[in-house]
Amino acid sequence: MKKPDPRIIFALVLVLSSFAVIIREDLKLMAGLMLMSILCALAIGVDFRKMFRRLKRLLQLLLVVSILRSIFAPSGTILLESWGIALLTVGGIEMGALVLLRFGLFLTSGAMLTCYPVRMLIQGMVQIKMPYEIAYMISVGVRFIPQLAEELKDSLIALQLRGVVIEDLKLRKKLSLYTYLLLPVVVSSMQNAKELAMSMDMRAFRAYQSRTSFFKLMLCPSDIVILCVISAFAVFMSVVLIMGV
Amino acid sequence: MTGGFSLELKNVRFAYSDNEKRQDFSLYVEHFSPKGCTALMGENGSGKTTLGKLAAGVLRPDSGCVLYNGADIAKRKLGQIGRCVGYLFQEPSRQLFTAHPLTEIAFALELQGISKSEAEARAMELLRQFELEHIIGHTTYTLSRGEKQRLAIAATMVMEPQFFVLDEPTTGLDKRRRNILVQTLHTLLAKNIGILLISHDREFADALHADIRIMDGGRLVDEKA
Ligand SMILES: Nc1ncnc2c1ncn2[C@@H]1O[C@H](COP(=O)(O)OP(=O)(O)OP(=O)(O)O)[C@@H](O)[C@H]1O
Ligand SMILES: [Mg+2]
């Protein structure tokens, strides 16, 4: 099956992530939204094995949030208690699950975008009248994220090889390490950005006012249908939320 | 004189696992135990840096073992390794952590509980040795390539490791600074400190009377003409 137009995906991502933010307490609605986004993601061809590897870490977060919520804002049936303090409540778990779903929604939305070549995404952004410079900046920024992670890892290794045994340090010194680690990463990303901007200028990036492109995106009938479905869904969700069902 | 430190790689196999699609590079070293100054040379991508990282515990072998003084380092933490092995990365800017050259050298000592004044005195001494006094007031990230390189070398030396892995230490150095580095490394060698040098610079390796080993396609090959 042909993938839908990237602009359709922008609309979908916009709808999904807006509702992920708007929905506050309604677990069922959030779960429904998640299910819907997973179905969409599958249809586009997101690699869920990779996603689940990331989700593993999120599960820990879920637990932490559940416990914190249970302790500081206890609600619902108490499941686990010690010295009169509720450690785990049904309300807490619900809150944790909400947070997890919200993150999951952002992740699936992001994953849907990564299914498209960068060139196509930029073209999509330009054709919804976004200035080319900004579209290009966004795509470059996204491309730098894995590189930042890589650099952070390298710096951590270099720091340890200076003879710093992180595990043995006192907490206060451990915290000071983070500033040491961030410096090379922030500095190098700033320098990268500056050099990239310069080399773009050298290649006459903005020499001509209007930039045309050989490659154009076209909406086909099935895209229109999908767009209608997404709009209908957005309207339906808004109604559900406003009526407070 | 420090008691001689011995580094040994035995039947080490390694492949980068993160890129499943192109597993074209794999490293195998049957036995490698550099003595004194050993220089690794070879083409780009032949695996020199990979071997250096394996020797310093940055990468862990898929099979086989790396031994320091006869003991396997598989269970050692990187920070503990860092106290006996100094490592200079090919890229200097990722190993500079602070804004000031003096603290850059001194902070690792301070974290070990050495007083600030003493740590800075030792840092000063190293800066002088590498002719870097004039950059004391500068910020580390606006230094020139060669200055960064020398600062990074000085910083790895402050911990007084017993073995050095230097990944292309001469890139970006002018002739004079290169000669200073030769002298500094000679004093280390005189103290019986081992050096694994990764370099394309034959002259530099010869100046250190290095034992030259050639790498090709992830294997150590014996030097031919
Ligand atoms: N992190 C990594 N992930 C995957 N492959 C890698 C990684 N680092 C290096 N490689 C690959 O391993 C091979 C050996 O790389 P290595 O850096 O050891 O070469 P080198 O001999 O140091 O080259 P140079 O002279 O350019 O520094 C190369 O083909 C490289 O593409
Ligand atoms: Mg290399």
Residue B206 located in a structural domain: yes
Residue B68 phi/psi, 5-degree rounding, is -110, 125
Site from B93, B95, B111, B162 to mutate, A interface, most A CB atoms within 10 angstroms: B111
- The whole-angstrom distance between B49's CA and the closest CA on chain A is 14
Q: What is the pLDDT of residues A205-235, one digit of tens each?
A: 666 666 677 777 778 888 888 888 888 888 8
Residue-level pLDDT at A79: 67
Placement of tokens 């200076």 in the chain: A162
Say if residues B148 and B180 touch (Cβ distance below 8 Å): no
Between positions 204 and 233 of A, the ones with CB within 8 A of B are none
Q: Among B46, B59, B60, which is best to mutate for testing ligand 1, by the most ligand atoms less than 8 A from CB?
A: B46
Mean pLDDT of chain A: 78
Q: What is the DSSP string of chain B?
A: -PPPP-EEEEEEEEE--S--S----EEEEEEE---SEEEEEE-TTSSHHHHHHHHTTSS--SEEEEEETTEE-TTS-HHHHHHHEEEE-SSGGGG--SSSHHHHHHHHHHHTT--HHHHHHHHHHHHHHTT-GGGTTS-GGGS-HHHHHHHHHHHHHTT--SEEEEESTTTT--HHHHHHHHHHHHHHHHTT-EEEEE-S-HHHHHHTTPEEEEEETTEEE----
B133 to B101, B105, B123, B125: CA distances (angstroms):
9, 13, 10, 9
Q: Is residue B117 part of a domain?
A: yes
Total number of domains in chain B? 1
The proportion of chain B whose per-residue pLDDT surpasses 70, expressed as a percent, equals: 95
* pLDDT tens profile B16-44: 876 555 567 889 998 998 888 999 999 99
Q: Which of B48, B53, B198 to mutate to test the pocket of ligand 1 (most atoms within 8 A of CB)?
A: B48
Return the SS3 of A151.
helix
Residue B179 covered by a domain: yes
Q: What pLDDT sits at residue A245?
A: 57
Q: Is the pLDDT of residue B225 over 50?
A: no
Mean pLDDT estimate for chain B: 87
Q: Residue A211: helix, strand or coil by DSSP?
A: coil
Interface contact flag, B111 A183, Cβ < 8 Å: no
Contacts of B111 in chain A (CB under 8 A): 164, 169, 173, 177
Closest CA to A97 of A196, A152, A23: A23
Q: Which of A31-45, A170-184, B51-65, B74-88 has the lowest mean pLDDT?
A: A170-184
A184 touches chain B (CB under 8 A): yes
pLDDT at A223: 82
Do B140 and B148 touch, CB atoms closer than 8 A?
yes
Higher pLDDT, B138 or A110: B138
Q: For residue B39, what pLDDT is reported?
A: 94
The percentage of residues in chain B with a pLDDT greater than 90, rounded to a whole number, is: 42
- Write out the two tokens for B102: 């003096």
Convert the pLDDT of each residue in B182-200 to its tens digit: 988 998 899 889 999 999 9
Per-residue pLDDT at B21: 57
B40 beta partners: B198, B213
For residue A217, the number of C-alpha atoms closer than 13 Å in the C-beta half-sphere is 21
Residue-range domain boundaries for chain A: 1-116+217-245, 131-214
Minimum distance, in Å, between the CA of residue B157 and any CA atom of chain A: 9
pLDDT of residue B121: 93
- ipTM for the whole complex: 0.80
- Smallest CA–CA distance, residue A115 to chain B, in Å, is 18
Domain harbouring B186, CATH code = 3.40.50.300
Please give the pLDDT value at position B210.
Answer: 92
Q: Is A58 helix (H, G, I), strand (E, B) or coil?
A: helix
3-state secondary structure of A195: helix
Q: Residue of the nearest CA to atom 28 in ligand 1?
A: B45
pLDDT one-digit tens code per residue, A105-116 = 887 888 888 788
Structural domain harbouring B114: 36-59+78-221
**Can you spell out the DSSP letters for A77-110?**
-EEEEETTEEEEEHHHHHHHHHHHHHHHHHHHHH
Q: Does A168 reach chain B within 8 Å, measured CB to CB?
A: yes
pLDDT level of residue B117 (50, 70, 90 thresholds): very high
Residue A224: predicted pLDDT: 85
pLDDT at B218 over 70: yes
